[in-house]
Structure 1
């Protein structure tokens, strides 16, 4: 059976589940999630003309003549009267412009003598200068955050100033993570002969938590069909991610254990390097992604499949990782039939692939800042040629 192309596999993973239900979430809990609908402004900002500078609110037609100071306008304490011919109001940045005034004389260009203000510079060149007009930022009904957009700190701020206390978001994605393998022990424990510290769980949790996912740590599961089946049957999550046991060896029991628990496997094995023996399917309402146990392969498949699935369930408009085009800093050999993701670093605006690309080299991944994407059967690439890269740091 031919290997499934990466793009086809990505599309099939997303097709396994629709975005989660919508809930209203307080702003304080909304960061790093995605808008489930357009978020409109509930008010106009600014709600009235405001001063953009400290100085004096004046009529531009009065520029150059002595002006009688009749009051003060500060943020939250507007002047309630009106500026008439020959009058001015002391005003501060962010304060409401008084009726009658159409510009602001900045304080560096004004001289006060008693209760009279004189021009001491060029003054505002035209009406409207140094004024933030009503609705300059947005008006009531404008879309502040489009559906599917990530809720960034800046978007939280615009939602708040736009009149919102809550936002319509998809429910938080619950992701259960299970490492499998008799050779694994928890990080920090004494290592016996043939044993290895488990590293995928903490890595995957760190990759998914910034997306707003709730992590359920299932720990290390043994290479026993009955134990794996029981653990999989008990999972209560939107996504189950397993690492290890997904290949074809005698001890690779994850796929048969999932099927024994009632899972339907959608596909297995991808035209991808590293990460070929990845599988995907459903176990009841849970999407199952079985990643390779090799940490580098688990990292790459998580970038390409797990993170996009979590974003999709959370309502992201574009859940897939973005790629950018960067010149290569060195020659690269021709590629074979699988899409290759080369660990690399950006230096001086160019991408340099790590010398050793063996998927067991986790330290190489730790110092990489990007992955160079080499399409199937890509010809030899030369230094300076453009290449697509996926940023990972």
Structure 2
């Protein structure tokens, strides 16, 4: 069970958005660099402190809410890393060594007895090292093996070889996993290896989202002249689901002040964060900006980037409850780009995740020239491949218009062209972020 209500963060834990912005030199909402917008969001957003306990089978992709300390040594005993023979390292010499075989040690069934000088025990991988033994010689390195004896050739093994020490992987009382880690399959296996059945995790983040626009139609509705199907809610659904959020799909909201106010108030009262697409530009029917400003602490930006120039960010409230707000552009590709480079990091931070940054940039060779104007960051959809000379190279997917959703479907990476960069020549090195792990 969660140990808190679904209410958003108390005011005492937050700075005002204006206060955060005031710390930024040369702030210009009509020409805000990408890194400045990211910095403002990172400083303003606070984690949602809500914890629940789940069984480890349900903990995959959840954020760990407390350090996990190992209750046991892993491995619990010194054991063999090989199938072979356990022996005393002090017996090894510069000449061949003849050893008497006392018996066999199996994984889960130890050899009961002590090994003296001149003796050894046949041992299987994972079996507890017999008393007196500190070295294992792999079976294939021995010769003249029989039921009673074996020869260890000179120089075939060194004292201490092929032995896994008690507590070598984890010593009892040491941290196994740290708070804030997003639990992956290997982490679930580690928890099981420690005998831990339940772990504390952060409550799933609740995110409400909707699209705005009289021209939008949901799948299954007829398309009137000038109307389009709403794709943004489906891409947002996929991105939020992959991020591990509990989601509230509020559908399409018409460009009507009363409808927008009702939608925002409902979202505030039922979610930790709200994501909208459309209505943050300068159109005459864009009431979204007006409603955002009316309900809370919100700023509107024109970010120096392509695609995704207009964006709103802040926090709105209704009936004593509040939610962080991300007002994304309406064009399909711009929605995805602004989500990944602004909203995604903030949502991970709200989840309490320790790793909130996007995957690291890779330097690869550009296959062809790319036009680029200095003074803005460009995110171009790319296809990463290996050239005939074995070097990784990237080419863009053709038209980079912010409404060309097919370009995102065809791409496997994003080419990131930094703020001050000009045109790229064929053969130049460029930064890319691969979609694996991001999309």
> What's the TM-score once normalised by structure 2's chain length?
0.82
The residue that corresponds to 1:227 in the other structure is 259
Partner SS, residue 65 of structure 1: strand
Please state how far the C-alpha of 1:196 moved relative to its aligned partner: 1.5
How far did 1:8 drift?
Answer: 1.4
Contact 2:33 2:419 in 1 (8 A): no
Distance in structure 1 (CA, Å) of the matches to 2:97 and 2:216: 82
Match of 1:200 in 2: 232
Question: Hey, what does 2:81 align to over in structure 1?
Answer: 52
Q: Which residue of 1 aligns with 2:331?
A: 294
Are residues 1:88 and 2:116 paired?
no
1:203-352 aligned at under 5 Å gives the runs 203-235=235-267, 236-260=270-294, 262-284=295-317, 285-321=322-358, 322-348=360-386, 349-352=392-395
Q: In 2, Cα distance between the equivalents of 1:320 and 1:97?
A: 44
Following TM superposition, by how much is the alpha carbon of 1:93 offset from its aligned partner in structure 2, in angstroms? 0.7
Change (3 A) 1:190 1:110: farther
CA separation of 1:121 and 1:357: change in aligned 2, threshold 3 A: same
Distance, in Å, in 1 between the alignment partners of 2:433 and 2:150 is 60
Offset of 1:66 from its aligned partner? 4.3
Q: Which residue of 2 aligns with 1:14?
A: 42
Distance in 1 (CA, whole Å) between partners of 2:271 and 2:119 is 68
Q: CA RMSD in A?
A: 2.4
| In 2: Cα distance, 1:2 partner to 1:268 partner | 6
Tell me the distance in 1 between the aligned counterparts of 2:417 and 2:122: 64
2:253–2:259 contact (8 Å) kept in structure 1: yes
In structure 2, relative to structure 1, the CA distance for the partners of 1:189 and 1:79 (3 Å cut) is farther
Residue number in structure 1 paired with 2:424: 381
1:194 positional shift: 2.3
Aligned to 1:180: 212
Task: Give the structure 2 partner of residue 42 of structure 1.
Answer: 71
- 1:145 equivalent to 2:177? Answer yes
After superposition, the Cα gap between the structure-2 partners of 1:347 and 1:112, relative to the gap in structure 1 and judged at 3 Å, is: closer
Please give the per-residue CA displacement for 1:302-349, whole angstroms capped at 9, x wherever unaligned: 111111111111122341213222222222234143221111211321
Query: SS in structure 2 opposite 1:267?
Result: strand
How far does residue 365 in structure 1 lie from its aligned partner after superposition?
Answer: 1.6
Q: 1:107 to 1:257 in 2, by over 3 A?
A: same
CA separation in 2, counterparts of 1:338 and 1:287? 26
Tell me how far apart the structure 1 counterparts of residues 105 and 50 of structure 2 sit (CA, whole Å): 44
In the alignment, the residues of structure 2 paired with residue 65 and residue 337 of structure 1 have an alpha-carbon distance, to the nearest angstrom, of 77
Change (3 A) 1:152 1:199: same
CA distance in 1, matches of 2:284, 2:33: 27
Are the counterparts in 2 of residues 19 and 170 from structure 1 also a CA contact under 8 Å?
A: no
- Structure 2: 5+ residue stretches without partners: 1-28, 387-391
> Per-residue displacement from partner, 1:133-175 (whole Å, max 9, x unpaired)?
2232232233333443332222222333245333443321111
* Structure 1 counterpart of 2:109, from 55, 59, 77: 77
Alignment gaps of 5+ in structure 1:
none
The aligned length equals 390
1:354 Cα shift?
Answer: 3.0
1:292 Cα shift? 1.0
Deviation readout 1:215-268 (Å, 9 max, x if unpaired): 1111122222111111111111111001112211122121223344x2221333
